Amino acid sequence: MFTGSSSFLVMFSSSILGMAAALALAGGPDPVLGTITSSLQHILQNTHGGNEYQYPTDITRDLLPIPVHSHNDYWRQEPFWTGLSKGCTSTEADIWLYNGTLYVGHDQSALTKERTLESLYINPILDVLGRQNPESPFVAGPTKNGVWDTTPDQTLYFFIDVKTSGPETFKAALQALKPLREKGYLSKVEGGKITYGPVTIIGTGETPLDMVTSVSDRDYFFDAPLANLNDPKYTNVDGTISPIASTDFAAAVGKVTADTDPVLTDTQLKALREQIATANERGIGARYWNTPAFPIRTRNLVWRTLLREGVTLLNADDLDAVASYF
Ligand SMILES: *[C@@H]1O[C@H](CO)[C@@H](O)[C@H](O)[C@H]1NC(C)=O
């Protein structure tokens, strides 16, 4: 969709034109614009703000998706938006059910009346997807573009971490997802086959496994325990139930003591490879949480090792660091 010339024009209209307008107001010569010919400056000033230079689906302009899970996303200054702005393809919300409403926060003391699943996640996601799927005489029908304009077929994984009683809370979450469902934005499984949509819902925490396995056609999934996929309880779990399985890195692979490559011992690497292979054989992607945060060098070596070994998502707390790592 993007050619080199059109994205150049887009960048041009948003930054240089702004400067041109500022210069026109200030009235003085500008060291940068001084290098642009006066006839080109004239054109730029006249096109600034014109309808021809409004790009309809531009909310995620210049963002490249990265295979990163925004861990404890609801703790960030702007839940959902911060992760989106870094290109994270996965986010999460801890949800608590009180009097029929789902509140979002790490523990009870962090809950407020205003911070709900609807206000912090569902409405913002609907907002972005509405902008990315405008009604237009140029499209045959409703589109299902994802949140990233550069890669509209990239799904956004949304882990819903159930904190209060599993069956009631997960049921309430499924009801709360209705606006996304009605727009056809959710990934779903039908006849044993997954069709990815803009958003992939994965229940975790207290989500009951049987609320997912007992329904064959559905638009929600389960976060299976990556290191326990061979336990009898999970032997029938495949990618149509759990597109991503997760586990605690320190517990499942081990404590990292090296700070040079290879950062994992042979035993640790073997465990990691077995877990990822078991998952991948069933069409399940892998995510490890609780990877080392310090020293930075060790953190980065573990990230590199995980990507090289084929995890689907890195789990990150420091989004600036992980975004600059890619
Ligand atoms: C739930 O409802 C009860 C009864 O109306 C009320 O006392 C309580 O404060 C409510 N709890 C929350 C978290 O809103």
**Does the CB atom of residue 99 touch ligand 1 within 6 A?**
yes
**In the chain, pLDDT over 90 holds for what percent of residues?**
80
> Which residue is it, tokens 């035993």?
267
Structurally, how many domains does the chain consist of?
Answer: 3
Q: Are both 269 and 125 inside the same structural domain?
A: no
- Cα of 114 from ligand 1 centre, angstroms: 15
Q: Are both 77 and 45 inside the same structural domain?
A: no
Whether residue 233 is contained in a domain is answered as no
Q: Are both 160 and 83 inside the same structural domain?
A: yes
Does the pLDDT value for residue 16 go beyond 60? no
User: 159 near 91, Cβ under 8 Å?
Assistant: yes
> What is the pLDDT at residue 41?
79
One-letter amino acid of 230 = N
CA 24 to chain CA centroid, nearest Å: 40
Task: Please give the Cα distance from 223 to 71 (Å, whole number).
Answer: 14
3-state secondary structure of 88: strand
Does the pLDDT value for residue 1 go beyond 90? no
- Cα of 99 from ligand 1 centre, angstroms: 6
Whether residue 169 is contained in a domain is answered as yes
Q: Are both 141 and 274 inside the same structural domain?
A: no
| pLDDT digit string, tens, across residues 226-238 | 999 999 999 999 9
pTM of the predicted model, to two decimals?
0.86
Pairwise pLDDT comparison (55 vs 211), residue with the higher score: 211
Cβ-based neighbours of 142, under 8 Å, separated by 6 or more: 133, 135, 183, 184
Rounded to whole angstroms, the maximal C-alpha distance in the chain is 75
Tell me which residue range forms the domain holding 303: 242-326
**Does the CB atom of residue 98 touch ligand 1 within 6 A?**
yes
**Does the CB atom of residue 8 touch ligand 1 within 6 A?**
no
Backbone angles phi, psi at 161, to 5 degrees: -95, 105
Q: Are both 256 and 212 inside the same structural domain?
A: no
| pLDDT digit string, tens, across residues 178-227 | 999 999 999 999 999 999 999 999 999 999 999 999 999 999 999 999 99
Q: Are both 106 and 209 inside the same structural domain?
A: yes
**Hey, what long-range contacts does 111-116 have (CB within 8 A, 24 or more apart)?**
115/74
- Hey, which of 97, 99, 104 would you mutate to test ligand 1's pocket, going by the most ligand atoms within 8 Å of its Cβ? 99
Per-residue three-class SS string for 103-144? EECCCHHHCCCCCEHHHHHHHHHHHHHHHHCCCCCCCCCCCC
Task: Please give the Cα distance from 276 to 182 (Å, whole number).
Answer: 35
- Cα of 117 from ligand 1 centre, angstroms: 18
Paired with 94 in beta bridges are 161
Whether residue 230 is contained in a domain is answered as no
Whether residue 128 is contained in a domain is answered as yes
| pLDDT digit string, tens, across residues 253-282 | 999 999 999 999 999 999 999 999 999 999
